[in-house]
Structure 1
Amino acid sequence: MGNEKILSGRIAVPEEFQEVFSHFYFAENNSEGTITQTLLPSYQTIMIFIFGEKALIHTQNDASLEVEKSIVLGPVKKAFDYSLPAGSKILAANFKDDAFYRFFGPAAISENLPVDSDSLLDENCFTALWNRLAGIEDQERQVECILEFCRPYLRNRNPVVQQLIELNTTAYSPIKEVAGDKKQTERAIQLTHKKHLGYSAKEIMRFRRFLKAVQIMQTIAGRASKEDWFEIIEQCGYYDQSQLINDFKHYINLSPSRYLKLQCSICSPLE
């Protein structure tokens, strides 16, 4: 999206990397003041590069963290705010499924707590990468640079995780199904799921229900009648309206109706 204040958008990933990154996101503050936006949870790990003025990430305990060059967040399980001062630019790589593990090891590195990206590897290679990116003006060329940089670090996917990823969107109980197929205990499969993906199968099922509700709500923005709310509850598998409200409070600390009013200042993983 673009307006006089902020220029932002998504950059698609080449076919070679579609198993690794869902997309890249960029934003640039062209106004004279600081712009604050909310990022919805995505259950992805995100590596963010900052150029120009330092960005601010507002943590859940109401503290603010200045970020000068790069930071890692994730898996992002709850919404958080970030601020871009005038002249600040960001480029975010959104890791898909087990991709972060395949690069760096255990996926649940930080939940919503930021991590210095250079701490992920023995060398300060991300500082060197940032220096290269800072000399490139075009965002698509920056993405090409990142993809070329990361290619040597990617490891093969664990076959058990491959099966879990495939079943997470179709099976009612992926853990039980994979455990039976692989002749392992459900506990062992649960641990593998958490280690490689950074979240449990139960967590991702709840999140996908919430995400479906958000997607439907984006189509009814501006009207949201009583009938619309019942349609969301039924289509997404909620027991009642209170369960729907509880999920919105859990993930973004807003009621569904409040979310509809604030959509313009919220960055959705669906966009």
Structure 2
Amino acid sequence: MTENNTEYNNFRIAVPAKFEEVYTHVYFAENKTGESMNKTLLPSYQTILIFSFGATPWLLSKENSRIPVDKYLVIGPVKQAFEYTLPPGAEILTVNFKHDAFYRFFRHASIPEHVPMNPAAQLEEDCFSILWHQLSKISDVNGKVNHILTFCEPYLAYRNKIAGQLASFGERSLDRIKSIAQENKQTERNTQLNHKKHFGYSAKEHNRFTRFLEAVNLIQTLASGNAKVDWFEIVAECGYYDQSQLIKDFKHYINLSPTNYLKFQQDICNPIT
């Protein structure tokens, strides 16, 4: 979702081609209104690094406790929707890691969900604190993004061969795990473990999420064209057994029924589209 006005601004920033294997995009939002802005972020199965400037925003955990974003934190892979609040004067810049990129930087693929992690502890001591202070002196958003990319590049490790094959596998009619296992003369179990190790989630988890995301994007497309949503069409197009399975996935990922998602989608940010 993208909104642009004189008081609340948020937009996506594409990364240069050389970084497209590592990041999907960078997201910027600022609240210049006199009221707090409450948003819901859809799951993305990506790990995100959030930099905060100005007033302190916060996330709402599964246990309904507030997690402040003090300068920076890492969260993910984001497997379920969560709420966040931007108070007046808040400004955030969010880096979205792609596929196995988080593992390539930090040597592990996941952290406790909805729990902040200090990324500096995984690299050189206090390096991200230094980066935050450098970013805080750059007023231009694109300048901040370029500085982040330049800063992070030396820490990026070479990609594991199997992880690269898993990330780039595009033949939807074939079983990704089985195909890559055969290609590398490995067991399917070993390939599954490689997937979990480098991505932070199983291939089965991601297949379910991809189906849900297709449903979300189809609903958004129909809604944007003012077309009436035919739920049976959604079920058929996205490969669900029936409408109850569709509802179950929406409840699982965003704790809303498909009908309520359609009603409130303007307040929900989709990090993928």
TM-score normalised by L of structure 2: 0.95
8 Å contact 1:54–1:68 — kept in the other structure?
Answer: yes
- Aligned positions of 1:44-193 closer than 5 A: 44-167=46-169, 170-193=172-195
Name the CA shift for 1:168/1:23 in 2 (closer, same or farther; >3 Å).
same
Name the CA shift for 1:5/1:90 in 2 (closer, same or farther; >3 Å).
same
8 Å contact 1:104–1:121 — kept in the other structure?
Answer: yes
State percent identity of aligned pairs. Answer: 52
Task: Compare 133-142 and 114-123 and name the one that shifted more.
Answer: 114-123
1:9 aligns with 2:11: yes
C-alpha distance in 2, partners of 1:263/1:4?
Answer: 22
Map Cα deviations across residues 13-65 of structure 1 (whole Å, 9 max, x no partner). Answer: 10110101000000000111211100000000000000001111100111101
Task: Compare 201-210 and 107-116 and name the one that shifted more.
Answer: 107-116
C-alpha distance in 2, partners of 1:150/1:67?
Answer: 20
Map Cα deviations across residues 176-208 of structure 1 (whole Å, 9 max, x no partner). Answer: 221122121222111110111111110111101
What is the CA-CA distance between 1:225 and the residue it aligns to?
4.1
C-alpha distance in 1, partners of 2:240/2:162?
Answer: 30
Partner in structure 2 of residue 203 of structure 1: 205
Partner in structure 2 of residue 256 of structure 1: 258
- Equivalenced residue count is 270
Task: Compare 55-64 and 119-128 and name the one that shifted more.
Answer: 119-128
Task: Compare 117-126 and 19-28 and name the one that shifted more.
Answer: 117-126
C-alpha distance in 2, partners of 1:55/1:260?
Answer: 26
What is the CA-CA distance between 1:6 and the residue it aligns to?
1.4
C-alpha distance in 2, partners of 1:37/1:9?
Answer: 14
- Aligned positions of 1:230-241 closer than 5 A: 230-241=232-243
C-alpha distance in 1, partners of 2:173/2:183?
Answer: 13
8 Å contact 1:101–1:196 — kept in the other structure?
Answer: yes
What is the CA-CA distance between 1:169 and the residue it aligns to?
5.7
Name the CA shift for 1:149/1:169 in 2 (closer, same or farther; >3 Å).
farther
Unmatched 5+ residue regions in structure 2? none
Name the CA shift for 1:247/1:168 in 2 (closer, same or farther; >3 Å).
farther
